[in-house]
Structure 1
C-alpha cells in the first residue's frame, strides 16, 4: 500500500517512563506489584460494601490463581469469564494473567454457552466462571470466594503470548474474537499516558463493561497510574452523580451516549460534581456541539480517544489541546502508532502493540499495515478525523455518502437528541439512507427542518422516531438491529 499521508513523528512533551518513550516489558501483575511496593496500605479497588488495599488485592489474586491452578488451569489455557462489572471479575481476570492463562471475557448479559454458540467457533475453555455481585461459580459449583486463601508460585510468562480474548461489539457485522497479549494491552496504556490528562491524587469511578476492551483498559490504567478504582453497584446516571458528589471522583472513561445522558441530567440537578476533572470519551463519535456540551455540563476536560478492540487507543488529544481542536478531531496518532491513509480514505495502522490476530485466523504480521475499516483523514496539523466506517458507506446513484456525516447534520437540528443512519437496498438507486432519531424532551419532529440540513442525496427514504436507539453492550448504536427494522 502506498504511503499517502504519514503522521509526522514528533515526540510528546510528556512521557511515561523516561525521556525516550518506548514500550515496556512488564505485565499487568508486574505493575500491580510495583503499586504494592509503592503504596502497600492504599485502598486500590473498592465498592460501596468492600475494598482491597494493594497488599490485600495481590494476596487475593494469588489465592484465586491457586484455586484455578487446582482446577487444572495452566499457561496458555482458556478461562471463560462471565464479565460482570464487579470487583470479583477484576480479581479473576488478574488471576488468569498471574498464571499466564488466557482470559476470555464474555458479555455478562448472556450465558457463556449461548455466547459461544453465537460466536460460532469452538474455544477450548479449561474452566468457565460465572461471576455475579454475590456469587462465584465454576461448572455449576458455588465457591466461597472470600474463603479462598491459597498461594501459588508466579510462573515466568511470555508477555507476547495470547493473554486476553475479547469480542468486538458486532454493531456493524458479525462479532470477531480479538486476541491480545499482556505486552500489547499494557503498552496501549503506556502509549496513551502522555495525553491521558492524569495528574496527582486521581480517583476513578468505573462505569465500563469488562467484556469490552475499553473496560479492561480502564483497569490496566488504574493499576499503572496507581489510581484507586471504585465500582458502583449500578451505573444509573443519577446514582453516578450521587457517587461523584459523595466520594469526590476525578475521572472516568465512558462512551458518548452515556456521557450525554449524564450531562443532560447534570443540567437538571444540583449535585456537586466539582471534583471531576477529566473524562476519556471513546468507542463512538460525537459532534462538535455534543463534545462541548459534555464539557460544559460536567465541568470537565474531555479527552477524545479513537481506538478499537484490536488497538485500544490509536490517537488522542490531551487536555492541553485547545477545545476547538479536541472537539473537532480524535487527536494525533500516539507515539507507538503509525497511521496511513489509503487513496479511498481508509485508515491503516502499524504498531508493535497491535493485537495478535483474530481467534481462529492466521496470526497478524506486525510488519504490515492493518486495515481498520474506518475512514478518515489527517489535517495539516497532524490531527486525525474520522468520517465513518468503510462498510457503512452508502452508494446512492454512484455517490458515496457517509452515515456519520448525515448523523452529524441531523444532530444540529434542535429537536434531535440522538440519530443513527444506515444504508438499505433500493432497486433504482442501489442504496439509500434510512434514519432513526430520538427527540429531545418537549419537542416535535419537523420534516421541513430536516430538508434545511440535508441535500437530496443525503435525504433518507424514511426517518423513524424512536424512544431510544438500539444499543450494543458497549454503548454503540446497533446498526445491524437498525437495518433489520427497515427490512421488515
Structure 2
C-alpha cells in the first residue's frame, strides 16, 4: 500500500506523524472526477456499486463496475454539456436514491456543479433553492420512481423555472418507460435514454480543477431564507481522503449506504470515500433507512454482501438493536454514527446486541462533512471524536462587538474549524458572467469557520460537544430550520410571537415544539395553533409536536429571544412525561447551565438512580438527581 497516500492511522497518537507530511505531498486526486477516473483505472472490473431496487428485493441488486460507472458518468456529463451546462452552472437533483442518481450526481460535478435538493421540501422552497443556485437543468424522479416528486418537478417545470427536465427511472426498472407528456418548451426526457448515445470514453468539456466548485448543499441556518453552502472539489476530495485514511477498512471491504444523497454524509462518506480504495458500496432502495422492510432482512443483508462498515444516525441504531441477529455479521467491523447526539443507552444496547462498535463522528456541511471521529478500540467517553488530520480546531469566545478570543484546552466556547475542508462560503447570487457569488456571511474569519456549536477540546484534539449555540432542530439527523415553524405560526392572526425549539425524544433525538404568545382577547387554543402550524409549514418533518401558549417570551437583558430557556422547558416536559409513573419524583426543573440544558429531578427518599437511568437512557438529556429535604 502506498505509504504516502495511506499513512498509519489507527489510533489517536498517529495524528502527529501524519501531519508531519504536508497534505499537498500526499498525492490526492485534484477533483472528484479525477478520483473516479483513478478508481476505474486501478480496479476497472471490480464492482463499484450494488443498488437494491427496494428492501424486498435485497438479493437482486443492479451492479456496475468502476469502468462501467465512469462510462455512464461520461455519457451523462456529455449530455449536460450539450444542454449548455458549463463549469459554473448548477444542475439540480431532486430524487430519492436510485442507481441513476449516483451517476447523475457525479456527472453534474464533472460538467458543472451538483445542487442536490431534499425532495421532501415544499414546491415553493424547492423553487427558492433552484433560483438561488441558478440551475436551469433539473434531474428528477419520474412517475415510476416517485409520483409525488414527479408531480412537484412537473409543476416547477410548467412555471418556466427550468429549461430541461431529465427524468430518473427506478433501479432495475422493468419494461418500457411511461410516456412523458410535453411541458411547453422544456427539454424533457428520460436521462438514460437521452444519454445512451453520448460518448462514453471521455468528457467533451473542460475538466474541473481543485478550486472549482463541485456542489452546493442547502443547509438549515437561522433564517427562513434557503442557504446554499458551496464545496470545492478540493474540499470534497480532502475530506473523503481523511475518512478513507483509517486502517480499519481495506480494498476488499464493502460499505453499506442508505442515507439520502441530498445529504453530505451520503456523498462524501459513501460515494467519494470508497473510491479511494476501490471499495464496493451496497445502496439501499429509495426509502433508505425509512423502509420498514429493511429491518427484517438487515442482518442477512450484512452477511450476503459481507458489509464491513455502515453510516447512519442514532435512531437507526436504536431500531437495529431490537432486530434479532439472524445471520453471520462478523464482517461488520464498525458502524459510523453522527448528525445528532448519541444517547449512551443506544450505544450500550446496540453494541451489546451486535458486538459491533459504534464509531461516533462530528461534522457540518460548512466543513464539507466530517471534522472529527472516534476510534473503536480507543474510546474517549463523552467525546464525539478526535479532529481529523489537517483540520485545526479551537474554541473561542465571541464578544458583543464580534471579537474572537481564543480559549485554552478544556474551556467551553464556540467551536471553530480551519483547514482544507472549510467551505468558501454561501451562495449569495450570480455575477454578470453567470458565476456563483460566495460570502461567508459572518461564519468565516481568517480561514476559521464558526460552527455555532459549543464545545471543549482536550489536549489530544478530542471534541466534547456542550450544546448548540445555533438554533437548528435536529430530528433523526435531519436539520429543521425553526424559522419554518415560527413563520407558519406568525401567519395566524392571533399569534404575536413564536419560537420553535427541539424537545428531546428517545427515537428521533429531537422533535420540534413551539411556544407562542397571543393577542389580548385571542381565542385560539394551543391545539388549534398546533394544527395551524402543521398545515402551513413548508416541510412535514417540521410540523411541531406541540404548541404552548405563554404569557410572555423569555428574553435576554437586551430584549433578544432567549431560546435556551425554552429548550430547558421542553426538556423538562420530556422528562416529566418519561417519569410519569414514578411516585418518588416530586418535581422536575429544566436548567440552563454553561449554555447547555440540564434536567434536575427532585425526588423523595427511596428513588433509585438506576430506575431514572432506565427511563431516560434513550434520551439525549443531561440530568441529575436532587434529594428533597
| TM-score of the superposed pair, with normalisation by structure 1 | 0.76
Which piece of structure 1 moves more, 125-134 or 160-169?
125-134
Alignment equivalent of 1:92, drawn from 104, 121, 136:
104
Cα deviation code 1:292-345 (max 9, x no counterpart): 3332323222221100011111111233323xx1x5211111222111111361
1-structure distance, mates of 2:190, 2:508? 44
2-structure distance, mates of 1:251, 1:262? 14
Alignment equivalent of 1:164, drawn from 200, 215, 232:
215
1:299 corresponds to: 355
The alpha carbon displacement at 1:391 in A equals: 3.2
Kept in 2: contact 1:195–1:316 (CA 8 A): no
- Consecutive unaligned residues of structure 1, counting only runs of 5 or more, are 1-8, 394-402, 462-476, 478-488
2-structure distance, mates of 1:375, 1:158? 35
2-structure distance, mates of 1:329, 1:254? 18
The alpha carbon displacement at 1:69 in A equals: 1.6
Cα deviation code 1:131-173 (max 9, x no counterpart): 3596652957232616614124352323212220111156997
Q: Please state if 1:104 is matched with 2:115.
A: yes
Cα deviation code 1:80-114 (max 9, x no counterpart): 11142122111011112222x01110113347x53
Cα deviation code 1:426-484 (max 9, x no counterpart): 638653421465999xx9843657668866675599xxxxxxxxxxxxxxx9xxxxxxx
1-structure distance, mates of 2:346, 2:391? 28
2:387 corresponds to: 333
- Which structure ranks higher in relative contact order (CA pairs < 8 Å, sequence separation ≥ 6)? 1
Kept in 2: contact 1:67–1:148 (CA 8 A): no
Q: Please state if 1:358 is matched with 2:426.
A: yes
2-structure distance, mates of 1:257, 1:32? 32
Aligned runs of 1:33-48 on 2, under 5 Å?
33-47=37-51, 48=60
Cα deviation code 1:152-200 (max 9, x no counterpart): 4352323212220111156997652111111101111222334473234
User: 3-state SS of the aligned residue for 1:329?
Assistant: coil
User: 3-state SS of the aligned residue for 1:434?
Assistant: helix
Aligned runs of 1:123-142 on 2, under 5 Å?
123-131=133-141, 137=167, 139=186, 141-142=188-189
Alignment equivalent of 2:581, drawn from 437, 443, 446:
446
Alignment equivalent of 2:267, drawn from 203, 206, 216:
216
2-structure distance, mates of 1:145, 1:96? 14
User: 3-state SS of the aligned residue for 2:198?
Assistant: coil
Alignment equivalent of 1:54, drawn from 66, 83, 92:
66
Which piece of structure 1 moves more, 165-174 or 337-346?
165-174
Kept in 1: contact 2:48–2:279 (CA 8 A): yes
Kept in 2: contact 1:44–1:54 (CA 8 A): yes
Cα deviation code 1:227-275 (max 9, x no counterpart): 111112243332433422332211111111122212222xx45343332
The alpha carbon displacement at 1:27 in A equals: 0.9
User: 3-state SS of the aligned residue for 2:456?
Assistant: strand
Q: Please state if 1:183 is matched with 2:234.
A: yes
User: 3-state SS of the aligned residue for 1:165?
Assistant: strand
2-structure distance, mates of 1:384, 1:67? 44
User: 3-state SS of the aligned residue for 1:286?
Assistant: coil
User: 3-state SS of the aligned residue for 1:313?
Assistant: coil
| TM-score of the superposed pair, with normalisation by structure 2 | 0.60
Pairs aligned (count): 427
Kept in 1: contact 2:29–2:237 (CA 8 A): no
2-structure distance, mates of 1:36, 1:120? 32
The alpha carbon displacement at 1:372 in A equals: 0.7
Distance 1:54 1:310, change over 3 A: same
2-structure distance, mates of 1:259, 1:140? 43
1:321 corresponds to: 378
- Consecutive unaligned residues of structure 2, counting only runs of 5 or more, are 1-11, 52-59, 146-165, 169-185, 398-411, 429-436, 473-500, 517-549, 556-564, 593-597, 602-619, 621-629
2:30 corresponds to: 26
Question: Based on CA coordinates, which of the two structures has the bigger radius of gyration?
Answer: 2
Distance 1:452 1:190, change over 3 A: farther
Q: Please state if 1:372 is matched with 2:451.
A: yes
1:434 corresponds to: 570
Kept in 1: contact 2:81–2:204 (CA 8 A): no
User: 3-state SS of the aligned residue for 1:125?
Assistant: coil
Q: C-alpha root-mean-square deviation of aligned residues, in Å? A: 3.7
Kept in 2: contact 1:196–1:280 (CA 8 A): no
User: 3-state SS of the aligned residue for 1:12?
Assistant: helix
1:309 corresponds to: 365
Distance 1:119 1:39, change over 3 A: closer
Distance 1:368 1:171, change over 3 A: closer
Cα deviation code 1:379-438 (max 9, x no counterpart): 244321011111349xxxxxxxxx99x95xxx8xxxx66653878576386534214659
The alpha carbon displacement at 1:357 in A equals: 0.6
